Structure 1
Amino acid sequence: MKFVGLSGALAGHKTSHMVFKVLHAAKLQNQDIEIELIDLKDYDVEFMRGYPLAYYNDDTQLVVNKLLEADCIVIGTPVYQASISGSLKNLLDLLPERAFRDKIVGFISTAGSDKYFLVAEYHLRPIIQFLGGVVPSRNVFVPDSSFNVESEIDDDLIDRRIMKFSEEFLKLSKK
Structure 2
Amino acid sequence: MKILGVSGSLTGEKTSIGVYEVLMAAKAEDPNVETELLDLKDYEVEFVKGFPLSYYNDDTIEAVNKLLDADILVFGSPIYQASITGALKNLLDHLHRDAFQSKVCGIVINGGSDKHFLVAEYQLKPVLSFLKATCAVRNVFILDDDFNEDNEILNPDIQARIRRLARELLQLKKGLE
| Residues 11-33 of structure 1, C-alpha deviations (whole Å, 9 max, x = no match) | 00000000000000000010100
Q: Is residue 120–residue 139 contact of structure 2 (8 Å, CA) maintained in 1?
A: no
State the Cα distance separating 1:152 from its structure 2 match: 2.1
State the identity as a percent. Answer: 53
Distance 2:90 2:52 in 1: 15
CA-atom RMSD, angstroms? 0.6
2:169 corresponds to 1:169:
yes
Alignment check: 8 A CA contact 2:78 2:111 kept: yes
Quick one: which amino acid aligns to residue 50 of structure 1? Answer: G
How many residues align? The count is 175
| Alpha-carbon distance, 1:95 to partner | 1.1
Q: Give the TM-score normalised by the residue count of structure 1.
A: 0.99
Partner in structure 2 of residue 115 of structure 1: 115
Distance 1:32 1:161 in 2: 22
Cα deviations by residue, 1:13-68 (Å, 9 ceiling, x for unpaired): 00000000000000001010000000000011111111000000000000000000
The 5 Å alignment of 1:1-175 reads: 1-175=1-175
| Cα deviation 1:130-171 (Å, max 9, x = unaligned) | 000000111110011101112221211100000011000111
**Unpaired segments ≥5 residues, structure 2:** none
Point out where structure 1 has 5 or more consecutive residues left out of the alignment. none
Contact kept in structure 1, 2:5 and 2:73, CA below 8 Å: yes
The DSSP-based 3-state class of the residue aligned with 1:132 is coil
Secondary structure of the residue that 1:3 maps to in structure 2?
strand
Q: Determine helix, strand or coil for the equivalent of 1:81.
A: coil
